[in-house]
Amino acid sequence: MLPQPTVTPLATQLLAAARAIRAVLDGQSLSAHLEQVQAPLRPAIQALSFHAMRHLGLARATMQALVPRQPSDPLVRALLLLGLCLLEASLAHADGQEQAPGTPIYHQHTLVHQLVEAAAGDRRCRPAKGLLNAVLRRYARERATMTAQLMLQAEARWNHPQWWVSILQEAWPRQWQDILEAAQQPPPLALRTNSRALTRAALQSHLQAAGLVCHPVGIEGLILESPRPVREIPGYDQGWWSVQDPSAQRAGHLLPLADGQRVLDACAAPGGKTAHLLERHHIKLTALDSDAQRLARVADNLRRLNLQSEDVTLRCADAAHPADWWDGQPYDAILADVPCTASGVVRRHPDIRWLRQPDDLGRTATLQANIVDALWPTLAAHGHLLYATCSVFPQEGERQVQAFLRRHADAERLPAPGHILPGRDHEGDGFFYALIAKSQ
């Protein structure tokens, strides 16, 4: 007899998702936590916890309104927050309000029952079963009037921290609402064709033959209409494509390169843009990253894409200290895809908004300035530096580059997109690009 597929009870999934939420509230990244979850359970826990991250602002405000004395156990709080997020979506759906694709929707009574069952499954949550039941049922009764009132708070209305909303309001007076709305939508799965292996048209034919509907984006990109686990997409083992957001795919076309040039990819891991540069040009490339584990992923990706060669050097080093790694020969081109708050990719990593603290922005901006200042002397006269971040905060983009130009008289700004803002008319993540040439 064939083994029967096992279906994990909803209560078990809910408890596991509450543990994921608790981990984020403790400061751990959701992707790091999800890696520890058993593989068969992971997609369901990811869907539940991603939904909770996208609606945590309203859930927190609701919990504060309904439970003035917060439960002391962090797992109970996480389970309650999860319950409020899921109940809100299910009730809104029942009221005919459109929900984002993939939103987990349940029947109200089933959901409350399963959340109480989930609490029963953990020793510390068990005493809170009655509280959970009472709070969720009250929310179901009073939701309409209560949410109208709570939505007056920016954090509840936009499901981002107040400080984050304020930065966007100031920086983007016309677009801030679109940026915040875009963060609530699950992102599309975008591929970049490995142009060394095949053309985009050929890749699209292979995907369509496998029943995957997709449309072209940018120069080598394809967007899949419905996401799939990557290993189920034709050509993974053959290295026909990489997963890469359309905004990130622009880097490989913005940095002017010619075959034979010496190129530095200063913050390379996991190697999405490194591979793109190598697919397009026969260059001598040094890929640097300060994180050894992440740098190992560059090697894996280049191997899968058949892009390894003696012209490619991987170095684990701090880009801000060239004395440790630079051989003194200037580079013709540098890609500085510097570490940032990742405020442009919150739809892919919905936990980021809750993990970041207001002070982080100043810290990353200083780190970025140190890195580009240190890289500048390693660039040859008439060479190009492409500065990139996946952030929508001007402190890491436009303002950062303006300050750099003030510090370096031999730096000249060339045309590049600047801030790319996520929103209605744009399928890609939030990004920033500045191209800078060295005049002498």
Ligand X SMILES: C[S@@+](CC[C@H](N)C(=O)[O-])C[C@H]1O[C@@H](n2cnc3c(N)ncnc32)[C@H](O)[C@@H]1O
- Residue 90 or 193: which CB sits closer to ligand X? 193
Half-sphere exposure for 84 (CA within 13 Å, toward CB): 33
User: Is 337 among the residues that bind ligand X (CB under 6 A)?
Assistant: yes
Is residue 345 part of the contact set for ligand X (CB under 6 A)?
no
CA dihedral 185, 74, 93, 113 (to 10 degrees): 150
- Smaller CB separation from ligand X, 71 or 344: 344
Is residue 271 part of the contact set for ligand X (CB under 6 A)?
Answer: yes
Among 85, 214, 340, 390, the active-site one is 390
Instruction: Please report whether residue 395 would count as binding ligand X according to CB under 6 A.
Output: no
Q: Is residue 390 annotated as a catalytic residue, yes or no? A: yes
Least Cα distance to 270 among 238, 320, 235, 305 occurs for: 305
Rounded to whole angstroms, the Cα distance separating 20 from 16 reads: 6
Give the range of 152-160, 175-183, 209-217, 313-321 binding ligand X by CB under 6 A: 313-321
Residue 346 is a binding residue for ligand X (CB under 6 A): no
CA distance 52 to 353: 12
Please identify which residue in 37, 267, 345, 401 interacts with ligand X, judged by CB under 6 A: 267
Segment interacting with ligand X, rule: CB under 6 A, options 37-45, 134-142, 166-174, 286-294: 286-294
Residue 95 main-chain phi, psi, to 5 deg: -80, 0
- Tell me which of 371, 392, 401, 411 binds ligand X, using CB under 6 A: 371
How many CB atoms are located within 10 Å of the residue 416 CB? 18
| CA 431/CA 162 separation, integer angstroms | 22
Is residue 365 a contact residue for ligand X (CB under 6 A)?
no
Q: Which is nearer to ligand X, 16 or 320 (CB)?
A: 320
Closer of 247 and 261 to ligand X (Cβ): 247
Q: Are strands 331-337 and 379-389 parallel, antiparallel or unpaired?
A: parallel
How far does the chain reach from its first CA to its final CA, in angstroms? 75
Q: Give the residue with the Cβ less far from ligand X, 170 or 373.
A: 373
Q: Which of 49, 193, 290, 341 binds ligand X (CB under 6 A)?
A: 290
Q: Which amino acid is at 75?
A: L
Total binding residues for ligand X by CB under 6 A? 19
Contact status: 349 vs ligand X (CB under 6 A): no
DSSP state string for 54-68: HTHHHHHHHHHHH-S
In the complex, which residues of this chain contact ligand X (CB under 6 A)?
248, 267-273, 288-291, 294, 318-320, 337, 339, 371
Query: Which residues are the active-site residues?
Result: 390
